[in-house]
Amino acid sequence: MEKERLQEYAARVTQANRSELVVIIYEATLASIEEGKNYLKQGEIEAARHEIERARSMITELMGSLDLQYEISHYLRQLYVFAYRELCQGIANRDPEQLNHATDIFEALLPSFKEVAKQDDSEAVMKNVQTIYAGLTYGRGTLNETIDSGADANRGFEA
């Protein structure tokens, strides 16, 4: 995944609540699968394997974060397991088309999770992080982001 895209996801994660984190993971998973497909089509097997492994790691994170006391979580888990297997088989068979099965699942679920995230007004999960303001200043064809360290420049872990 491109460095700029990773930085964008990292910035979004610092400001996200739990619902927004799921949306970010879905988007990052889709991006990794897409890049993996592109690498497979170009014959770059190791790069494809790396991207698919990244997507599989995100799916594992999604499975681990399910609250299985709710019935819907069991259905989501089954979908995640299926998507995970399709990614494994797609990379093993070097078949970019097989990766589409996982893409279809995440593309179908993403709008629902985006809607939930819109309605979730809980606080950001991460505390003691810099605030990012987008759009305060802008240049021709660019949108600048400003980072506010706040009064406490001593952010991070405290011993």
CA torsion sign for 102, 107, 109, 113 is positive
pLDDT in tens, 109-118: 999 999 998 9
Q: How many CB atoms lie within 10 A of CB 66?
A: 15
What's this model's pTM, rounded to 2 decimal places?
Answer: 0.75
Question: Looking at the domain covering 3-115, what would its CATH class be?
Answer: mainly alpha
Nearest one of 73, 80, 134 to 105, comparing CA atoms: 80
Domain ranges within the chain, ordered by starting residue? 3-115
Residues 6+ apart with CB under 8 A from 130: 14, 147, 148, 149, 150, 155
The DSSP bridge partners found for residue 95 are: none
Q: Which residues of the chain have pLDDT under 70?
A: 1, 124-159
pLDDT in tens, 117-131: 898 777 766 665 555
